[in-house]
Structure 1
């Protein structure tokens, strides 16, 4: 399984001055596994209709009833670019928000940029597509995601009870620094200007490197980059300390705390590398931001991210950090986490050839390779029902360890895209669509 789900910048920390040609390390699936197809008990299969929202809503009532009791519901995607995965998660999100008290949906996207998108969508005459291109990684820049955001925008304009778009990833540092600088300027009595100014300078360096890493032959001063990142981490620590007593209104303090946490998680990659001599597990960082999103007693959140992040077990067999993010979140909130995986066997999906995903990575449609013999996808595709979900805890003796596919933002969907799993190690439930199509690019 390719380590494409670690911190977006972590691999670059190990690079030479020219990073564009560095290959991603791989951890292939163990050669020895039973290739016999698992014949699933028909009683496990819960058919789902994609004909309409109302038909879907009726079919998933038992599944939603389980989700509704949780504080954190994670809706995964087996690829970052499958149309049906976006639509199904939009419908589930709508049900949970309209009927079960969830008010936040958080994407695998930068926390502060997602906040800015949420705020911008509330402005009169705000156009959805340009805002998506400004604030979302390119994996989210599709028509299916636009449907969710348009629904959120319409709801918030016509209802007193407001819903919120959030992010629980940390990549872009400039938005954090700019928002903190704006607060420091607006409230000079808080005495934060020196720290926020220093952070903003470091953030510009950080984001400049990240935005250029995909360019062939791009070179940068690696030693200076590492020093900049570590210095910025310590600056954010001082800023967090200062925020505890800074003279800020309560709402502005809460905003600043979120921006500062996002910045700290962003720069923690450098701290872990320089001080602890290890990678900062991206799944752990996502879990920390999730914890921030549900810090209130009655807060609940719906997470949208790749299956590999939301699963309770890491896709990397050499990972001793305790992830995926689902494992960290479960430990933080015992019994309050529900994760739904989504999977497919054939069709097309959107992906990019860029080494690192950015806001402008070009997405194109690619065919899914035929599932490995003996994989979960091969067994699930043999079920006569084209779209269904199953509860993993009901698998019993059929809960066998077999290859499970995780396709990221890159075009590969072959043998290196699998990790060995029992389904219960990953999900509470799995929603399977036998044949899918690539997400539709924004117009």
Structure 2
């Protein structure tokens, strides 16, 4: 069997990836089984460079705040700001401190320097302005959408003034109160003001859609795309806050599902603009349902990968990353009878595996799932091998300074 498995493995190169896929994807998703490891991000960077130089990819999207991502996109497009400022303000979850993320942004800015707009690289965050402890105020997205429309359409068409939005939103601390994640009574998401904001956000989005021909003609497709981003972020945040105030047993299932839905909407919008590499956790990008336990309760919801795949079919491709060890996190050599153990026995440090062929080689007898001693690492699920287009395997994830 070891020889048969080795025949499914290739070098991690753009050309090998594209040969695995039945059609050229609009969205090529590269998952990771754990966050915060530069070994995996360096591999992502290498693959993106190859996709840019050999396959004409122009966009990379990562699991980071979609509004903060605009800061990075402006920097790589025109040099707005400094690299230090951009890494601090443009990437969420503290990941701007990553050396690999910094190198990605630096390289993209250098690549764009002196190139025409049609050839420039683009950067996007796909996550909503959300953290595990709560969600942002809708103020930024609402006011940005209103400002975009107010400068371009008749005032009489606007459903409200910017001052009304500001008054109804109130202090941002009401929305970002971390106690609301644990106690629905602490959430303002179902207050009278929040309910009115949901209606106004819906009207602003509807106006954006209705004025699409004028808006694109009077500015640009890029500006209109940003307007759409503001709109879906505002409505998504208000919907998220509404369900934070819910007291039913399905509250947390709704919240985790809404987060993936927001990410899926952002990805589908990117998919309209040309091929993009997407990087996020395997659990978000997989085609099957996601599961987890939170507060002792089992949660199950449709992942963003399942949603996007339902829309795009084969034009959404997914490569799951698997790994052998993260010794600095207590993840040692995998059991030899696990999928990771079988792949760990191969000679190379990293390689691309044809997941469908691997599933065929393993046949009906699938290896037992690997059990992780580290809560931040999610092993492959052997039952879902054939649902991946490929597996990127990294033998050892090393500690970085």
> TM-score interval w.r.t. the shorter chain?
0.7 to 0.9
Whether 1:44 aligns to 2:7 is yes
Whether 1:168 aligns to 2:133 is no
Structure 1 residue 393: deviation in Å? Answer: 0.4
- Give the structure-1-normalised TM-score: 0.71
Structure 2 equivalent of residue 259 of structure 1: 230
Matched-pair contact (CA < 8 Å) for 2:142–2:201: no
Residue deviations 1:289-318 (CA, integer Å, cap 9, x gap) = 21122235xx22221111111111234176
The RMSD of aligned alpha carbons is 3.6
Structure 1 equivalent of residue 331 of structure 2: 369
Structure 1 residue 242: deviation in Å? Answer: 2.2
CA distance in 1 between counterparts of 2:383 and 2:3 reads 14
The 5 A counterparts of 1:286-365 are 286-295=263-272, 299-316=274-291, 321=301, 323-347=302-326
Structure 1 residue 319: deviation in Å? Answer: 5.3
Matched-pair contact (CA < 8 Å) for 2:95–2:101: no
Q: Aligned pair in 2 of structure 1 residues 394, 260: CA closer, same or farther (>3 Å)? A: same
Pairing partner for 2:355 from 392, 398, 401: 392
CA distance in 2 between counterparts of 1:122 and 1:313 reads 36
Whether 1:234 aligns to 2:199 is yes
CA distance in 1 between counterparts of 2:194 and 2:379 reads 33
Gaps of 5+ in 2: 130-135, 293-297
Residue deviations 1:371-425 (CA, integer Å, cap 9, x gap) = 6645433333233332222110001141626425789xxx7347xx457442425
Structure 1 equivalent of residue 341 of structure 2: 378
Q: Aligned pair in 2 of structure 1 residues 342, 238: CA closer, same or farther (>3 Å)? A: same
Matched-pair contact (CA < 8 Å) for 1:369–1:413: no
Across the two proteins, how many residue pairs are aligned to each other? 367
Q: Which sits farther off after the overlay, 262-271 or 71-80?
A: 262-271
Structure 1 residue 240: deviation in Å? Answer: 0.7
Structure 1 residue 438: deviation in Å? Answer: 3.9
- Give the structure-2-normalised TM-score: 0.78
SS in structure 2 of the partner of residue 112 of structure 1:
coil
Gaps of 5+ in 1: 1-37, 49-55, 349-365
Structure 1 residue 331: deviation in Å? Answer: 0.7
Matched-pair contact (CA < 8 Å) for 1:103–1:163: yes
Structure 1 residue 44: deviation in Å? Answer: 3.3
CA distance in 2 between counterparts of 1:125 and 1:116 reads 8
* Greater helix share, structure number: 2
Q: Aligned pair in 2 of structure 1 residues 72, 125: CA closer, same or farther (>3 Å)? A: closer
